[in-house]
Amino acid sequence: MGSINTVKIFSGTQSEYLSKKIARYFGKDLGGYTLRKFSDGELSPSFEESIRGCDVFLIQSTFPPADGIMELLLMVDAAKRASAHHVTAVIPYFGYARQDRKDKPRVAIAAKVVANLLSASGVDRLITIDLHAGQIQGFFDFPVDHLEGTTVFVPHIRSLGLSELLIASPDVGGAARARNFAKHLNVDMVLCDKHRKRANEIASMQVIGDVEGADVVLVDDLIDTGGTICKAAEIIMDKGARSVRALCTHPIMSGKAYDNIEKSVLSELFITDTIPVKTDLGGKIRVLSVAELFAKAIGRIRDHESISSLFITQD
């Protein structure tokens, strides 16, 4: 085992609420950091303490606006120029991950663009959780520690004591994710097959599998407007399910998402805190924190230990 350098954890302005919790679980205060803005909005970050020779962890989710990505890139550059030994970007929610391929002519692969920007800025390592597609890890030419939401969600689902538990995916693209949950919980799964007219607008949906009398938990990586998850829940209940809940790692919750969830047939929605959510969540939404999971990952990287020990293994 090599020598262990001093760890310093800093937070970008978009993720300070989560970074404070991560640092507390890790047992360290957040490092001194200031973000100044010119009158036109131009960003100027600076570290308020020495980081020479340190292993620096920079926490910032990259949800809109794009200032979040720009701030993170400038933080990385500032850290490298201040002679940090190793710079790890901790991105709980990796924005632009939905644009991970050319699904029609003349479109950008935005996830690859963001990966290139992180590489160019000097990032040595990335920690994230539940990328929209796991193969996005291949866009990076440095190590990616891809944590799994199952670590947080599976124990919680078990604690509900649902006797007729059934896992469901709201679309075919999420089948592998749902199958992973079903495997850990040792239950069956069903699929919802949806067809979109355009982004955020569903044309049709059908359920593949039997949900009669089941307590269904819909599994997704993110919820944007809530349209897909609410439609899936409605169809599952129409097919005879006893109850339907949902979970997602990244609560984007744009537009009328909160109203859509509250008015839906969902009995509960479980989300994490990778993205900040409003304080008045209503009666259906429960937040589970990923702070301890990220703190443990940082500790294992510091100690040159395996990250895979954080994953839930099949019983």
Active-site option among 8, 194, 231, 296: 194
The span from the CA of 75 to the CA of 97, in Å, is 21
Within 10 Å of residue 26's Cβ, how many Cβ atoms? 21
Residue 312: band (very low, low, confident or very high) from pLDDT cuts 50, 70, 90? confident
Domain ranges, ordered by start, for the chain: 7-148+292-310, 150-289
Q: Do the Cβ atoms of 257 and 224 come closer than 8 Å?
A: yes
Say yes or no: do domains 7-148+292-310 and 150-289 share a fold: yes
Q: What is the pLDDT of residues 156-187, one digit of tens each?
A: 999 999 999 999 999 888 999 999 999 999 99
Dig out the tokens for 263 from the structure.
């008015």
| pLDDT for the residue 26 | 98
The span from the CA of 180 to the CA of 296, in Å, is 22
| pLDDT for the residue 204 | 75
8 is catalytic: no
What is the pTM assigned to this prediction? 0.93
| pLDDT for the residue 20 | 98
Instruction: Mark out the alpha helices in 122-242 (DSSP H runs).
Output: 150-160, 175-185, 227-238
The span from the CA of 192 to the CA of 209, in Å, is 9
Dig out the tokens for 238 from the structure.
């129409």
Q: What is the pLDDT of residues 211-251, one digit of tens each?
A: 999 999 999 999 999 999 999 999 999 999 999 999 999 99
Q: What is the pLDDT of residues 50-73, one digit of tens each?
A: 999 999 999 999 999 999 999 999
The span from the CA of 63 to the CA of 80, in Å, is 24
Q: What is the pLDDT of residues 5-55, one digit of tens each?
A: 899 999 999 999 999 999 999 999 999 999 999 999 999 999 999 999 999
Q: Do the Cβ atoms of 220 and 246 come closer than 8 Å?
A: yes
Residue 168 DSSP label: E
The span from the CA of 248 to the CA of 260, in Å, is 15
What is the CATH T-level fold of the domain 7-148+292-310, as seen in this structure? Rossmann fold (3.40.50)
Q: Check if CATH label 3.40.50.2020 holds for domain 150-289.
A: yes
Q: What is the largest CA-CA distance in the chain?
A: 61
Region of 137 (left: φ > 0; alpha: ψ -120 to 50; beta: rest) is alpha
| pLDDT for the residue 201 | 62
Dig out the tokens for 284 from the structure.
């259906």
Q: What is the pairing mode between strands 43-47 and 33-37?
A: antiparallel
DSSP labels, 278-296: -S---SSEEEE--HHHHHH
Q: What is the pLDDT of residues 66-105, one digit of tens each?
A: 999 999 999 999 999 999 999 999 999 999 999 999 989 9
Q: Do the Cβ atoms of 68 and 60 come closer than 8 Å?
A: yes
The span from the CA of 208 to the CA of 8, in Å, is 49
